[in-house]
Amino acid sequence: MGVFMVLIDTSVLNVALPSIAQEFKASASDVEWILNAYTITLVVLLIPFGRIGDMVRRDLLYCLGMSIFVLGSYLCAQSWNVIVFILFRVIQAVGGAIISGNAVAMLAELFPPGKRGMAMGVQSILIATGFSIGPVIGGWITTHLSWHWVFYINIPIGIISILLGLTLLPALGEGVKEPIDFVGVILLAIGLGFLTLGLIKGQEWGWNSEKTVASFLIAFPYLLAFVVRELTYAYPILDFSLFKIRNFTTCIIALFFMFMGLSLSMFLLPFFLQGIKGLTAEEAGYWVLPISILNTVVAPIAGRLSDRINPKITMCAGPIIFSTALYLLSHLKIDVSFWELAPILAMLGTGMGLVMAPAMNVMITAIPPQKAGMASGTIRTFNTLAQAMGVAFGGILFTSRMNDLIPNYGNQLPSPMQIKVLGILAMKGFGAPLVLIVEAFMRSFRHVFISAIPLTLTGFLIILLFLRGEEHLRIVRKAGSALIVA
């Protein structure tokens, strides 16, 4: 419930942003920082809170994270201006980082090897469902209630989650007693913070602008200093020996490319559905439901199978199916119907389900139990950065092609409102601008999908060449034998 609450919050908020901006009379920059402040805070804190979870009662830390998230949600709903709203979003992100940074580690402690695959499958369902039904819920709430209820709805869910956590969860964590590396935390925060800032603002600022270049020039020395610090400090918040574990590193890199390919292509789909197709945000949400529906069916099955057969089988099939869906999307036509698009999106959900749950299972089974929180935070950090990089590169690919087709087009993405205005002009006899922008959009749109295919196929090759599936099965069988003896 906690993971789902955090994941769905962002997708629901995206739909409510226009109403929030209107009430606060917020500028475009203000609206962006409502999203950016949350993302940057989340990325910066995932690894530190994951490591802290290895040192304290993880179940209590998790409940604390949900409490902070609920408090942040209430404060966001009560905000009186946009600056305060952004500050309260940061508080929300602190709670979200505690929850997300420890969720996988909690599953590792609650479920022994051989039982984790199904648990990871359920978590994969929540990730896909949060992504898919968020716009539907956000559209309904914004239309029938108000944007405040986007945050109020978190309060009862959060309170129930906290009570269930305190009542049902056993004592978790407290595996290590070490000092927290505050120097490492600061170096990581500055490095990841400016890296994320450059990625999410580069499209707006321009990739050659002073602000974008400065963000990256600040980020990389601090990240390098963080690596040196963690390699030489006795109590690191990120033990780089984790990356010596072959299956952990293989899966985390493969998922990085898969998430990049997913976000690079999928962030444009709402622009197509709402702009070109003219659907409402709520209707667009229904159109993408096949992704989560198939993921819901496939992920737990794939997770369970990863403890019984070589996980390389399902994890190699996933990227192939996903890449095939991307190829089909690259041939999408404007007049595509729901029933024509649904099977393709179902393939996307199937592909991610076949990869994500087994990969999470293999990673968490491969690492030492006392480093589960550190690994959990690292996995979520890599996935979040991959999504940010995917959107950034997708924006570059899309706008560069648009500028080739429409000289001096700039760095903008065509909004649904812009398409509607051009549609009104077309009805008055000025159809050329609409035809130009729609044709350019569709060609650029297809180009992005084609460009995403090499990323997902790279994930496939990494899994095929480097994953040791039999090693995972040996660990599972050994743990199962130990449980039987016990």
Predicted local distance difference test score (pLDDT) of residue 465? 92
* pLDDT tens track for 33-78: 777 788 778 888 888 888 888 788 888 889 999 999 999 999 988 8
- Residue 5: partners with Cβ closer than 8 Å, 6 or more residues away: 66, 69, 99, 154, 157, 158, 161
Indicate whether 324 pLDDT > 90: yes
Indicate whether 131 pLDDT > 70: no
Indicate whether 5 pLDDT > 90: no
Domain boundaries, the chain: 2-180+237-485
pLDDT grade for 137, boundaries at 50, 70 and 90: confident
Indicate whether 80 pLDDT > 90: no
For 448-456, what is the mean pLDDT? 89
Predicted local distance difference test score (pLDDT) of residue 15? 67
Indicate whether 346 pLDDT > 70: yes
Q: CB–CB of 183/227 below 8 Å?
A: no
pLDDT grade for 307, boundaries at 50, 70 and 90: confident
For 303-314, what is the mean pLDDT? 87
The pair of structure tokens assigned to 103 is: 């969720």
For 103-119, what is the mean pLDDT? 80
pLDDT grade for 463, boundaries at 50, 70 and 90: very high
Q: CB–CB of 442/334 below 8 Å?
A: yes
pLDDT grade for 242, boundaries at 50, 70 and 90: confident
φ, ψ for residue 57, nearest 5 deg: -65, 105
CATH architecture for residues 2-180+237-485: Up-down Bundle (1.20)
- Residue 130: partners with Cβ closer than 8 Å, 6 or more residues away: 4, 7, 8, 11
The three-class DSSP label of residue 363 is helix
For 181-209, what is the mean pLDDT? 81
pLDDT above 90: percentage of residues in the chain:
13
Q: CB–CB of 52/374 below 8 Å?
A: no
Name the amino acid, one letter, at 440. Answer: A
C-alpha distances out from residue 275 to 14, 175, 279, 328, Å: 16, 52, 7, 20
Region of poorest pLDDT, from 4-18, 247-261, 278-292, 347-361: 4-18
C-alpha distances out from residue 391 to 74, 311, 448, Å: 30, 29, 11
Who wins on pLDDT, 100 or 75? 75
Indicate whether 294 pLDDT > 70: yes
What is the pTM assigned to this prediction?
0.82
Round to whole Å and give the CA distance between 91 and 165.
21
Indicate whether 486 pLDDT > 60: no
Could you tell me how far CA 346 lies from the centroid of its own chain?
A: 19
For 197-219, give the secondary structure using H, E and C: HHHHHHHHHCCCCHHHHHHHHHH
Round to whole Å and give the CA distance between 203 and 311.
38
Query: How much is the mean pLDDT over the chain?
Result: 81
Predicted local distance difference test score (pLDDT) of residue 424? 65
Q: Please, where are the H alpha helices in 145-241?
A: 149-152, 154-168, 182-205, 210-232
* pLDDT tens track for 432-443: 766 777 788 888
Q: Which of 24-33, 254-263, 278-287 has the highest mean pLDDT?
A: 254-263
